[in-house]
Amino acid sequence: MGSSVRVKEASVVTPSEPTPPCVLALSALDSQLFLRFTIEYLLVYKPCPGVDQANTTARLKSALARALVPYYPFAGRVRSRPEGPGLEVVCAAQGAVFIEAFATRYKANDFEKAPKTVTHWRPLLSLQVADVLKGSPPLVLQLTWLADGAAAIAVGINHCLCDGIGSAEFLNYFAELANEKRETSHRCKHKPVWERHLLNSPRGKQTRVDSAGHPEFNRVPDLCGFMSLVSTGLKPTSITFDKTRLNELKRVARCTNGPGESAQYTSFEVLAAHVWRSWARAIRFPGNQKLKLVFSINVRNRVNPGLPQGYYGNAFVLGCAETSARELEERGIGFGSGLVKRAKERVGNEHVRGVMDWVWDRKGCPDPVGVLIVSQWSRLGLENIDVGMGKPSHVGPVCCDRYCLFLPVRDDSVSVKVMVALPVSAVDNYDLFMRA
């Protein structure tokens, strides 16, 4: 399928105005070992009658150059600090990469269902960064014109520089600059704020970290060859939950509460629990296998003092729900929802400071055994990124793998599309359990 996409041009785009030459330190949360990869977004836009492809390409390149002025670290290069722990960004306006390509087979309607394979959409972001610390550009954008006149914009952003909220703020600002139809001052809604020192522990002050309070970093016994079981022969799946279905999950959760459990759950809590349980049942783990559901929790308003608006660094910690495969199946959605809810409630200022010490001093990194990771893209605002071709008809990842994504649904702020890849042998049962 790779031959179906032809790259016309790849160029380096530098900030349109002078930016400060400097070296900026990243925070303890930015420097975590498990964040040293590229976030890859894929936005698909329906055919737009009368669109001038050459003009659109020029607009996007110009908008990228202007967006790199306030967000100039995205034009820098990330490296390990020469002295001491952590990472830093060398800012010398080295530039981001912009690619224009043409596809002969992909059409807009192809993205209405899950991809055929895990890497089926990989050609839509042809520059894949294997190691973000070896001088690679932290930002890559590829505009691909599809066979039916539609367009796909794939974006790769170094996760060390920002989290999902930060990357979405950058992309919406870029879209404002690119969209000639909007009356706008082309100013950031919130001025980008660096201030990474706010998420570092004070030097010389150690926080006592209780490992029991951070199950995301603790290992569990592998009773089933877990990684081989969940990573081999994967097939992508996609299921959408609308308001009616989410309300039904909440009703079921209330009916399967444990003693003393809350009767009220959010849509995220019940859907995460339902996906976790369906995934575990479909793969058929041993009953005594410990399983974890790991998900990001925004801490911008959970630390003291709170982070300023416009802070675009990694400002999340991992929430972790944990139980056995047997309990997860037998005790129902209410039980799982309660585990997710309590994992969220554990996260406050002291918890976050403990994570900083854990990753800074102990080089703590989550172990993958027993883990299903859920990432909520449905509340980032990615569905509003209009570069002058309307809102995207599809928002998702470039590659679909075993990490579960909650994706937005166009023109529906409540519905959520659940995308994850499972072993082929488990897909049918997973689909059955998810729709039950």
Active site residues: 159, 386
User: Please, are residues 268 and 246 in contact by the beta-carbon 8 Å criterion?
Assistant: no
Please, what is the end-to-end C-alpha distance for the chain in angstroms?
Answer: 35
List Cα–Cα distances, 142 to 76, 102, 103, 407, in angstroms. Answer: 19, 10, 12, 21
CA distance 340 to 246: 16
Alpha helices in 310-379 (DSSP H): 325-330, 332-345, 349-361
Residue 234, φ and ψ in degrees, nearest 5: -80, 145
Contacts of 330 (CB under 8 A, 6+ apart): none
CA distance 172 to 68: 13
User: Please, are residues 364 and 210 in contact by the beta-carbon 8 Å criterion?
Assistant: no
User: Please, are residues 265 and 253 in contact by the beta-carbon 8 Å criterion?
Assistant: yes
Nearest-Å Rg of the Cα atoms of the chain is 22
Looking up tokens 């820098």, which residue turns up?
Answer: 76
User: Please, are residues 61 and 98 in contact by the beta-carbon 8 Å criterion?
Assistant: yes
CA distance 244 to 255: 17
Looking up tokens 């990357």, which residue turns up?
Answer: 167
